[in-house]
Amino acid sequence: MPSSSMLISHTRSSSVTEFPPSPPPERYRLASLDKTSVNPLEKPVVAVIGTGYVGSNLVKVFAEAGIDVIAHDISEPSLKNLQAQSSTLKNIRYSSAPFVITPATHILIAVPTTLLPDMKTIDTSFIQAALCTVVNHARRGATVVIESSVAVGTTRKLLAPFMQLHGFLGGMSPERIDPGRSFPTYEDTPKIISGLDERSLQSIEKLYSKVFQNLVPLSSPEAAEMTK
């Protein structure tokens, strides 16, 4: 497993390219400089870390619901591809700069997970790198949701310590995308959500209910992780 310093170095090494026509920075002015805590009454701003197949769908579905979205990825080709697919949506900001997530009230981690060489253990290094970005740049009170596929117990192991130290809310909502299926639609597919505590679950449910028609709250992240 990579060390924390390696992961932090990885997140800071990304370039700061932004891709027009991102909305002007003032649209995302929410405490972007002083990192004041998130106010539960704020208008939601969603940051999606990772813009592969899962992340790009999250970016588009939240933007289509009228929510301001920040798409962040260290891969500039991935961002450019997403921008080309979402050119009609003007409420998305695209950037490879990690500090771009600061205005977000909710941060969705949708980075890839693969098996290690033993073919049994899931490689969570990309999730850990994403969490380092969150720790360095997110505001206290932000809600962090792991959308990536992980083994049972991973969300609590990786996210719970940051909740305690940095005042985050957190939970898990396993991605539910089937590339070969067109019905039901992505928004109508039952969406499992979970929180590490009741406040976290309430925050996730409040946001996701703006997009997904059929939410399925579960009692714990472990229960959600078992559904994959």
Q: Does pLDDT of 182 surpass 70?
A: no
Give 106 or 1, the one with higher predicted confidence: 106
Alpha carbon distance 84, 180 (integer Å): 22
Query: Above pLDDT 90, what percent of the chain?
Result: 75
Three-state SS annotation for 103-128: CCCEEEECCCCEECCCCCCEECHHHH
Alpha helix (H) residue ranges in the chain: 4-12, 53-64, 76-85, 125-137, 154-166, 198-208, 221-225
Q: Does pLDDT of 34 surpass 60?
A: no
pLDDT of residue 181: 56
Average pLDDT over residues 9-13: 38
pLDDT band at 25 (very low <50, low <70, confident <90, very high): very low
Domain at 49, CATH number: 3.40.50.720
Q: Does pLDDT of 31 surpass 70?
A: no
pLDDT of residue 186: 77
pLDDT band at 183 (very low <50, low <70, confident <90, very high): low
Tell which residue, 65, 49, 75, 21, has the closest CA to residue 207. 65
Average pLDDT over residues 26-42: 66
pLDDT of residue 180: 56
pLDDT of residue 214: 95
pLDDT band at 187 (very low <50, low <70, confident <90, very high): confident
Its domain, for residue 118, covers 4-225
pLDDT band at 170 (very low <50, low <70, confident <90, very high): very high
Q: Does pLDDT of 16 surpass 50?
A: no
pLDDT tens-digit readout, 105-135: 999 999 999 999 998 899 999 999 999 999 9
How many domains is the chain partitioned into structurally? 1
Residue 153's CB: how many other CB atoms inside 10 A?
11
